Amino acid sequence: MPERGQSPPPERSSGKQMHDVPASGKGTDDASHKEDINKEALEHLTSNPRGPMEDEVERKFAKTAKPNV
């Protein structure tokens, strides 16, 4: 008896696993404006986005010492 999670031997495989042709490749999402959506997303993409802690690090290490006058 095969261990759990193993595929059955080829002679016991179902038609979907062995002989049936693959699906037509038609997805369920609507990709009619895919190029426009991708181009718009790319235009708003920053080359080096700020990290979540960058503002805090800049505030913490800012030179705030006032000169003694």
3-state secondary structure the chain: CCCCCCCCCHHHCCHHHHCCCCCCCCCCCCCCCHHHHHHHHHHCCCCCCCCCCHHHHHHHCCCCCCCCC
Q: Which residue has the higher pLDDT, 23 or 62?
A: 62
Give the mean pLDDT of 24-53. Answer: 79
Is residue 25 predicted with pLDDT exceeding 70? no
Better pLDDT: 24 or 2: 24
Find the mean pLDDT for residues 2-27: 68
More confidently predicted of 28 and 39: 39
Averaged pLDDT score across all residues of the chain: 75
Is the confidence at residue 20, as pLDDT, over 80? no
Per-residue tokens: 27: 């997805």
